[in-house]
Structure 1
Amino acid sequence: MKSQDILLLLKLISMEKSGAPEADYSVRQLEAFTGISKSELSASLNRCIRVGLVAREHQTGLPKVNRKALLGFLLNGIRYVFPVRPAELVRGIPTSFAAPVMEGKVMSAGDTINVWPDATGKTKGQAIAPLFKSAPAAAKADPKLYELLALVDAVRIGNVREAQLAAQLLEKEFIYESI
């Protein structure tokens, strides 16, 4: 599994939630949405199908994310497979507990927040390496994807309160809204 696999899966969930048209699921469109090359998208999709995180719908042939399996991996394995630690102070895009999806739900112990480094970012905080290099750009273009990536970062960073809240919010996004 590679980090771009998670970005792709989260984008597919975002597209499904928004009711994206079938044309948006083309490799060319997914490349534009995620910043992942066409060849790597194909390899990523094949990896996800092989491990059971994606299945193709019988009627449309579109990739469908196995949300329960992905949620299990995100909650129990992502912090070990793709660990992250806050680094130097930079300008960037708020993530983890500082992202809008968690705003007002968790109180920070200090003034320093976590951000993805971004030259156009308006917020100063500790740098957090994004899950994949194109994730910040993809998140800027898709608010739902931004929410999902920020919640995943809260789990990756591993602070107990933030991770537990993020887990609850991810479960709500993945399970309850898919029923």
Structure 2
Amino acid sequence: MKSQDIVILLKLVSLEEQERASNRDGPSSREDPYSVRSLEASLGISKSEVNASINRSCASGLALKGGPDGHAKPNRRDLCSFIIHGLKFVFPAKPGAMTRGIPTAFSAPMLEPYLVAGGSYIYVWPYAYGKEMGQAVDPLFKSVPDAVQEDEKLYEYLALIDAIRLGRQREAKLASDRLSEKLLSR
């Protein structure tokens, strides 16, 4: 596994949720958002790396290939379990120096009602165009700050993951519960 595998899987989850919402609103005539080319454009990860990532995810059981549309589908239950119980050990997060960036973990706007930061500093993904100052936390992949600009659901998922990676037991539990609720309810 590589860290971008989790980002790509969560993007696929986000696309599924957007597709479900757009089906309620009527058909859409956009390019296939699940194509390797579209994933490359929206995530800033090369086509060859997107393809290799999907193959790794299918081999590990975190994704299943061959649905009716032929696209890989995230195995939501196993993905959730891996994120909650293993991700912080495989891809640990350490707060760094103060920098400008995009709020993450407990500091992300959509998590403020659920989680409260323990200190006066917020956590941010370093980003030149960010509006907040806080302690730097390296995102799972370098292009995450750009990718979340257009995808609110992906932003929420990645912020929840950082809350799990950075939080103490209570905060990590709250983030885990919220992530489980989001990933496992359809």
Give the TM-score range, shorter chain. over 0.9
Q: How many residues align?
A: 177
CA-to-partner distance for each residue in 1:154-179, whole Å, 9 max, x for gaps? 11113222211110111011112x2x
% identity of equivalent residues: 50
**Compared CA separation, residues 99 and 55, structure 1 to 2 (3 A):** same
Question: Does 2:79 align with 1:70?
Answer: yes
RMSD: 1.3
Runs of 4+ in 1 over 3 A off after TM superposition: none
The answer to whether the aligner puts 1:61 opposite 2:31 as a matched pair is: no
- Residue 9 of structure 2 is matched in structure 1 by 9
**Mapped partners of 1:5, 1:122: distance in 2:** 28
- 8 Å CA contact 1:79–1:158 kept in 2: the answer is no
Among 80, 83, 86, the alignment partner of 2:92 is: 83
In structure 2, the gaps of 5 or more residues are: 23-29
Q: Post-superposition shift, 1:105?
A: 2.3
Q: Which of these residues, 122, 146, 152, is aligned with residue 155 of structure 2?
A: 146
Identify the match of residue 137 of structure 1 among 140, 146, 154.
Answer: 146
Distance 1:85 1:128 in 2: 6
How far apart are 1:106 and its partner, in Å? 2.6
Cα deviations by residue, 1:45-85 (Å, 9 ceiling, x for unpaired): 00001111111243210111000000010000000000011
Q: Retained in 2: the 8 A contact 1:90–1:124?
A: yes
- The separation in 2 between residues aligned to 1:174 and 1:155, in whole angstroms, is 15
Amino acid in structure 2 at the alignment position of 1:66: N
**Conserved in 1, the CA contact under 8 Å of 2:93 and 2:165?**
yes
Match of 1:41 in 2: 50
Looking at structure 2, the residues matched to 79 and 24 of structure 1 have their Cα atoms a distance apart, in angstroms, of 29
- Rounded to whole Å, the distance in 2 between the matches of 1:59 and 1:124 is 45
Give distance in 1, aligned partners of 2:77 and 2:158. Answer: 17
Residue 99 of structure 2 aligns to a residue whose secondary structure is strand
Question: How many Å apart are 1:22 and its aligned residue?
Answer: 7.1
**Structure 2 length normalisation: TM-score?**
0.91
**Structure 1 stretches lacking a partner, 5+ long:** none
